[in-house]
Amino acid sequence: MHIGMMSPYSLSVYGGVQDQVLGLARAVRRLGHQVRVLGPCDGAPPEPGITSLGASLPTASNGSIAPIAPDISSSLRTIRALWDEEFDVLHLHEPIAPGPTHTALLTSTRPMLGTFHRSGASSAYSIPGVRYLASRLSRRVAVSPDAAALAQSALGGTYDLLWNAVEVDRIRSAEAWPTDGPTVMFIGREEPRKGLAVLLEAFSGLPPELRLWVAGPGTGTSALRASYGDDGRITWLGEISTDEKFSRLRGADVFCVPSIAGESFGIVLLEGMAAGTPVVASDISGYRNVARNGDEAALFPAGDSQALAKQINEVLFETDRAEGLVAAGDACAESYSMRRLADRYIDLYASVARR
């Protein structure tokens, strides 16, 4: 099959949806299908097989900044790209997000499948006409019960449930980054809902031999660094490449994911599990999709810095606890491998194409 896979968010910017789009495209190609990824790019496309639809415009959304491209020039590039490529199926990620996916829903005559990632409030679902746009999808997929509930309440319809996935083999093959002491890692945009402030407060009371890596867009330049910049145990990495992310995950002793809200699925938890690193995460519904039994990750009440510090201490200094988390996490990550997800999507593509 010839598949067009579209992201409304800039493929040059770190983000969970973008990672899913690119990872799924690679997995589907390995299974013998032709895939072209279409989406905004700020600069050159990050890898081959991508058609750039122009630069993004950072837009506030769901407590975050979404790098979308809702401008006319991007719409014209989208129409041209869809005209040039005779796709058997179009796979639209976040189809209701303003920009290229809107344009595809309005103009494409190809069979279309949509995957809904978002949970929590979203102004995109209140745009006039979105129910009509969604009705043009031949099939709808949600990545979690929370994402399905949000989409169904705003758009109606029925949704297949297909979890997000991780490139397990790629993560496991990364070379572990060297450390000079017990090391905790954080990855994420510097936004209140990601919980970095909670982690920093917890870390200030942890033993002096610990180290903390803080990675992600914006980290290291804000008020948080002004408050904690004198702590020599903290390394402010800023934005890092995917390869460096996986390498540092492999080298860290604990991967901390302290998000407060707004997460529909714990894909970042799965990355830490696939790296063989114990995961400490906030106990929110999105992360419970992955750490169902509490064996796969050490969970703490969201926003509670004292409880977080206690969990980090236990994982770092109680060997049995860490080993149990690693073993359960490894099995969990394998069950969410990108290879398995690609197989499921190929079945859906064939079903949609037949229509």
Q: Is the model's pLDDT at 63 over the cut of 70?
A: no
Mean pLDDT throughout 9-37?
Answer: 94
How far is CA 248 from each of CA 29, 172, 221, 276, rounded to the nearest angstrom? 27, 12, 21, 11
Domains located in the chain, CATH noted: 2-165+338-354 (3.40.50.2000), 168-335 (3.40.50.2000)
For the chain, what percentages of helix, strand and coil (3-state, to nearest 5) are there?
Answer: 40, 20, 40
CA gap 239, 219 in Å, rounded: 8
Q: Which two tokens stand for residue 260?
A: 């407060």
**Which residues share a beta bridge with 305?**
none
Summarised one tens digit per residue, pLDDT across range 69-107 is: 999 999 999 999 999 999 999 999 999 999 999 999 999
Tokens of 168: 């397990």
**Mean pLDDT value of segment 222-228:** 81
Determine contact, residues 148/116, Cβ cutoff 8 Å.
yes
Q: Which of 349, 340, 240 is nearest to 23 (CA)?
A: 340
As beta bridge partners, residue 160 has 141
Question: Looking at residue 222, what is its pLDDT?
Answer: 73
Q: pTM for this one?
A: 0.81
Tell me the mean pLDDT in the region 286-302.
88
CA distance 135 to 129: 10
**Cα-to-chain-centroid distance, residue 238:** 17
Show Cβ contacts of residue 158 under 8 Å, excluding neighbours closer than 6 positions. 140, 152
Q: Quick one: three-class SS letters along 186-206?
A: EECCCCHHHCHHHHHHHHCCC
pLDDT at 179 over 70: yes
- Indicate whether 256 pLDDT > 90: yes
pLDDT of residue 61 exceeding 70, the answer is no
Taking all residues of the chain, what is their mean pLDDT, rounded to a whole number?
Answer: 92
pLDDT surpassing 80 at residue 328: yes
- E runs forming strands in 219-319: 234-238, 254-257, 279-282, 298-300
Q: Determine the pLDDT at residue 217.
A: 79
Q: What is the predicted pLDDT for the residue at 305?
A: 97
Cβ contact 247:272 at 8 Å: no
